[in-house]
Structures are given as C-alpha cells and as structure tokens.
Structure 1
Amino acid sequence: MRLNQVTVTMPDLDAGWVFYRKLGLEPIVDARPHYVRFVCPDGGSSFSLHQGEATAGGTTVYFECDDLDLTVSRLIEAGILFASSPADKSWLWREAEVFDPAGNRIVLYFAGTNRLDPPWRVPASPAQ
C-alpha cells in the first residue's frame, strides 16, 4: 500500500494555490474555486485542496525536505512566515512549522533513516 494523496479543506483556494506553489508543489488539476491538486516534487505523491470551511487544529501535514534549513531560508525569502524555525527534536527529526492560509499545520522536516527506522522501532512480528 502506498499513500497517494492528502486532501485538506480550505475556504480560499486562490490563497492556498499561492501558498503551496511557494512551497514547491506543482499543480496538476485546477478546478478552482472548488478543488486543486498538486504533485509533490519528490516521491510521486499528490496533495489537494477542497473548498470548504476550515476546521481549526484538525490537520497536520508533514513534507520531508532533504535540505530543511536551505528550504526554509528560500521560503522565508519568498514571503512565507514560519511559526517555528528549524530545530532538532527528541524523536530525531529536524522540523520547522508553518500554517497555511486556512490554518492547517504544515511541518517541513528532515528525518533521514529515522523516518521509518528509528532506534525504538517496534520489531517485526510474524504474520497473524
């Protein structure tokens, strides 16, 4: 099984379009004002916005960046305001936090091998 796409709700898809283009996502469907879909620059997954009223605090989306600090610097220069600067976390990821125009929490991060293989990973169990 592979994750294909994540969709978040946003009242203003024009604002979302600008924000996610600045993050580096490439549009593949533009059905504004109701729906837009982007492809992520790496990995082949997609990300979409559906027009509707935002719900506070319900969605967090993680985008992995190979060079987090450089990516954050580039986005700050493009006018993106971050809620937190890149910082090393106790779970061995480096993260920076930003909120999109609808208030969805977006975490840009780098985890390397710790993303799927942290030191505390649960051992594989036999099939049941």
Structure 2
Amino acid sequence: MNLNQVTIPSINVEKATKFYKTLGLKLIVDALPRYVRFECPNGEATFSIHKVEELPKGNGIVLYFEVENVEETVNQLKEKDIAFKTKILDQSWLWKEARLNDTDGNELIIYHAGKNRNNPPWRIN
C-alpha cells in the first residue's frame, strides 16, 4: 500500500491555490473554483484541495512537508511574504521544524527528519 494523495477542504480554492503554488507545489489539475491537485516537488505524492461551504470544526488538519534544509526553505518563503507561527525549532522527537497556517487555517509544518522520519531510535519492530 502507498499513500497517493491527501485532500483538504477550502472555502476559497483559488486563494488556497495561490498559497500552495507559492510554497512550491506544482499544479497538475485545475478545476477551479471547486478542485485543484498538485504534485510535490520531490517524491511522488500529490495533494489536492476541494471546495466546501464550511470548514470542519476542531483541531483540523496538519500537513507535514519535508525539506532538506529547513532554514533555507523558511527564509525563501518569508521572502515571498509567507508568515510563520513559530521560529525554527529542534524538537525532542529529532525533527527540525517551523509551523505556519494556510489561507483556511490548516496547520502546516515545514520540517526535516531525515532517517528519523521512518527510523527513530524508539521505533518498534
């Protein structure tokens, strides 16, 4: 089994599309204003957004985008007026990350885990 894509809801898919293109995702399906789909710049995963009339309540969605160099990526995104909620943090689970929100309030984490993503020291067999 392989994860193909993740789809998130949006009140304004056009606005969300601009945001995710600014992050560096490549638009591959354009069915605006109701749906779009992106390819991630690395790997084979895809990501889509669909229009909803109301966003879900509660904690919502958290999206993790792994990059090789968190500092470089965060600085590049800040130059494009992307605002972050946190500074770059070295987490106790051995990931370096910075958090932000998209245009619908979904939480995004720009991070690097390297080998610790799939093989942390506490991994069970």
Calculate the TM-score normalised by the size of structure 2: 0.96
Amino acid at match of 1:10: S
The amino acid of 1:70's aligned partner reads E
Please name the residue that 1:126 is paired with.
none
Q: State yes or no: 1:67 paired with 2:69.
A: yes
> 1:41 aligned to 2:35?
no
Letter matched to residue 3 of structure 1: L
Amino-acid identity (%): 46
Q: Is the 8 A contact 1:54 1:103 kept in 2?
A: no
SS at match of 1:43: coil
| Aligned equivalent of 2:3 | 3
Q: List per-residue Cα deviations over 1:6-65 (Å, max 9, x = no partner).
A: 000000011101110011000000101100000000001100000012224210010100
Say which of 97, 100, 109 aligns to 1:98: 100
TM-score normalised by length of structure 1: 0.94
Quick one: which amino acid aligns to residue 84 of structure 1?
Answer: T
Within 5 Å, which residues of 2 pair with 1:102-121? 102-121=104-123
Please state if 1:29 is matched with 2:35.
no
Gaps of 5+ in 1: 124-128
Which structure has the greater CA radius of gyration?
1
C-alpha deviation, 1:85, in angstroms: 1.7
Total equivalences in the alignment: 123
Partner Cα separation in structure 1 for residue 79 and residue 109 of structure 2 = 18
Counterpart CA distance in 2 for 1:25 and 1:40 is 5
CA separation in 2, counterparts of 1:14 and 1:50?
Answer: 10
RMSD of aligned alpha carbons: 0.8
